[in-house]
Structure 1
Amino acid sequence: MPARSDTPTKYVGPEPGKLDADALRRTVPDDPIKLPKGLLACEGCGIAHDGPAILAIPRSRTYVNAKGEAVEKPIAPLEYTRCPDCTRLNDVAGGDERTRNSLYALAVVQVPAPEDPTPLVQWMGTIGGLVSWLNPGEPSAEHCNPYPWAHVSLGHRRKIKEAYLLAMRSRIDIKAAPLDLPPPWGGACLFCGIGTVPMAPLEVARRGGREYAAQMIWQGVTAQAKAFGAKGREILDGFVCPTCAEVGNREVSVSRACAKAFEEHAQRNGIRVPTDLFNLYENGHPVVVPGWASLGRITPNAEPWQHVTLVIEEDEPVPEYVA
């Protein structure tokens, strides 16, 4: 089909050399630069500015005196200013620290400050508390940012965007569905095999995003493969879900915790488990229920303990568990 005469047949945008390179640069982090003489770094975005000092951090230096004693001697404090943009955000926040931090976080990802930022604070306050120039590491009297927020890493920018999107979604859908959080690694609970744990979007935001939330609710476990019902002494490490972790924290070994977690799951769901099986605990006989980690699989279970089949023979008092 021939092109219409009024239809562009080639790229007609601006020449590559005329693209706003500075705007693109501000979307990624960069190394600090030497602070120009006579200027102070902004406590928020980190750029150099000639404004007055609004914050002074006391400092001291330790030295050894003639008696061989360690003595701390005060030195010049670290002073910081606040640039016009960060001053405006502080004014919008009414001087409230969590609100100001939330607006700082939005500024990092180039989202304009809303007229009323209050509803965003519960979503952005935690992640925003880690973005100002003063927070990432040791304060420096000699360096500043080459452009606003250059010190904020790509990973942290991603977490800010996630928290903001969760906040926006909550305004559209008050009954927003829980978010499914997989373990930090490993694919599933080492015991029951479930692949995700639900958490309300607001709780995820309050914990600083999916990554931090997952680290808080999934509990790390490291043990030999045989503890999960597998053969060999290979060391397996991963995570167990909150339900299995609650059981495991009451037991003295990983193998007992895995078996006990299945026993309580069976009781909650009406799965027939003869009492004789778990009474073997009291007689010193180990009961090994194969955890999901013993299978060497990648795909999680659709339901907890789906990989375990309980075989009950009428003429046997103790059943056998097989994967």
Structure 2
Amino acid sequence: MRLAFMGSPDFAVPALRALHGAGHAIAAVYCQPPRPAGRGQKDTPCPVHRAALELGLPVRIPARLRRDAEAQAAFAALDLDAAVVAAYGLILPPAMLAAPRRGCLNIHASLLPRWRGAAPIQAAILAGDAESGVTIMQMEEGLDTGPMLLREAVPIGPRLTTPALHDALAEAGAALILRALAEAPVPVPQPEAGVTYAPKLSKADAPLDWGHAAAALDRRVRALNPWPGTVFRHAGEAIRVLEAEALPGPAGAAPGTVLDAAPSIACGEGALRLLRLQRPGRAPLPAEAFLRGFPLPPGTVLQGG
């Protein structure tokens, strides 16, 4: 089948490799332009760009598509059977959505209609969902509103992190898009009930609020690492919490109070034991090693981030 592939981050790479490995003719790979990265701030191609070059596939990196008639005409000239889209990062205008004979198929990292939007993986963990999954969706102009072709659930275990769920969903999406192209399932409209949205995350989401329940903060630590991370402040430093676990806590302790040498921190309900921490500009450390250079004596009251 003659395809275009449109994606940018690591999540999209397994699908690109699967489509190429299955023998589909990938006429062009669309991805975000190189961005400054690393200490030298050199322009660095995104993961899909690097994978496409490795596979010998032609890459296109338009800065925009809407109101760009030339880019839209170039896409139409590819004479595609379908376009596969996975976390591309640009909105496709109606002319491009309609250009391929089978339209544009999106690999979305949730069980639609739950968690439409920009951060569905993190949202599922934050909410304490028992499962997430992948939906192959026929794209239309609305935000993740198109009819569904296939869905596959992935369980969310009690200690699952965003990186682990990300990788599981990326692999599931790669397998599912091959099935969708081969089987051409009948599109099913999304139900109107149960729609939720996962807004884009920012650094403003990083501070830990000790007034929340420890179980919610544990999910937050697992959901928001590696980015934007979760932090609290002490002695003028923003300390990153990379791993933690929720425990029962004593009644009446003020939220943010260090309860013991573990260290465990009193929360609005229960306590959060800190397992791995990082000071600014330093390496991540297990809590025991961290405390040797940055003590948190019992009775200390920690601030949010």
Q: Which protein has the bigger helix share?
A: 1
Whether the TM-score (by the shorter chain) exceeds 0.5 is no
Taking structure 2 as the reference length, the TM-score comes to 0.26
For the pair shown, the structure with the greater C-alpha radius of gyration is 1
